[in-house]
Every structure is written in structure tokens, then in C-alpha cells.
Amino acid sequence: MIVAGNWKMNKNATETTELIGAISNGMGDTSTKVMVAPPFVNLAAAADSAKNTNIIVAAQNMHFAESGAFTGEVSASMLLHLGIDHVILGHSERRALFGEWDALLAKKADTALDKNMTVIFCFGEELHDRKNDIHFDVVKNQLSEGLFHLEANNWQNIILAYEPVWAIGTGETASPEQAQEMHAFIRKTLIERYDPDLADGVSILYGGSVKPGNARDIFSKPDVDGGLIGGASLNADDFLAIVQSA
């Protein structure tokens, strides 16, 4: 099981250190892989705070280029220099608010994998896709365009994170059964493109407003391998309750 906290644009460096300390102190002897993804400016503080703990620090994004005239961007080498070798790519907010598209994300994934980084690749349908009954098509297309150019051996460094965008901050709620249905479809799609062994070996996280109250039911589903947590990851008690549910 993997529980990854995406902190988005929250917490300063001091708060980052405090939150990582609180999570580390409360984790106990868990077998769950725990990750946190602070904002870029706090990654150095996070990496330092996470030393000698079982917490993995990830970046929220990165550019595909090694360097150049890309104001405001961060390269894979810059992240690696800080000891950060995990990166979230394709988050729904990056797609919707910053116009990131599948071909761009494929280039980012290639760069990360070339640098031996682990990619947490996000994808998922919006509310109008589900209401028009094209949600499976949307998800399959995002996977195909973003990742299916990869050779099978690359997938050992890929973690998938399914985000039903319609169930994040909208008042709509995805049931554990809906999560399982989509995760099973994703695994079936991987079998069709690659093979059953690869599909079984890929972790598929659920990223649809996981909270302490629903985490155990969601994580109990056979094709759900953990969660990508947003708001609940900003509170140590809530995040630890989710970790303990995994």
C-alpha cells in the first residue's frame, strides 16, 4: 500500500518541517509506503526533515528539459540534487489550470524515467465525461497517450493515480465500488497493452477526496493500492489515520 500526500500550494518551510516531524513521530511500524509532496520552495527543508525516516519526499511537477529559458520551471536534475527522486506528473490541476496535455506529459515521463526517477502519473475524467458515459474512454486515452509508448521495463518506476475530477471538491461523492470499477478497468487496460504480470505489479492509487472516514472502505477494494491524498494530508492526525487504514 502507498499513501501519498499532495500538499499543493500550502505550508511554508517551518510548517513543512513541523508536519513531517509529526507524521514521522506518529507513523509507528507501518508497512505502508508514505510519501509527501510539498511545494518546490520547501523541498530542501522537506528532504532534510525526512532524513532517517521512512517518509519519501516527492515533487509536485517538473519540466521535461534539462535546462534552458523556462522561467519558473524546475528540472529533474535540480530535484535529484536535493535528493528528490519521486515526482507527480499530470495532476488534474496541472491539466485543467495550466493546460498540460498528454503529449507533454509523455515527454515529462520520459525525462523522469531516463533519470531513474519514480513517476506518480495522474489521470481521470471530469464530471461531464462521466455524465456522458465516456469516462472509461477518457481514462484509456490518457493512459495510452501519456504512458503506453513506454517499454515494459519502464513500468517498475511508474505509480498510477486515478483522480475522478468530478469527486474532488464538487460535492459529488465517488463510492468505493466506483473506485474499484475504474481501477479494475485500468488494470484490464494494462493487461491488454502489456501483460498480466506487469498489470498486477503496478500500484494504482485512488485520488478522489480520501479522508479518515472513507479510507478503510476504499483501500479494502482489491484493485486499490493506496491513495493520493489532498486536503487531508495537511493535517498530521488525519493523514496518519489514512495511513493506518491502508
Cβ proximity of 129 and 163 under 8 Å:
no
Measured distance CA(79)–CA(63) in Å, rounded: 11
DSSP H helical ranges for 54-101:
76-81, 92-98
Please say whether the beta carbons of 87 and 59 come within 8 A.
yes
Catalytic residue among 86, 100, 163, 183: 163
Among residues 86, 91, 135, 183, which one is catalytic?
91
163 included as an active-site residue: yes
Q: Measure the CA–CA gap between 56 and 38, rounded to whole angstroms.
A: 11
Task: Establish whether 91 is a catalytic residue.
Answer: yes
Query: In angstroms, rounded to a whole number, what is the distance separating the alpha carbons of residues 224 and 162?
Result: 10
Beta-carbon neighbour count of residue 132 at 10 Å?
12
Q: Where are the alpha helices (DSSP H) in 57-203?
A: 76-81, 92-98, 102-114, 127-131, 135-147, 176-193, 196-201
Q: Which residues are catalytic?
A: 91, 163
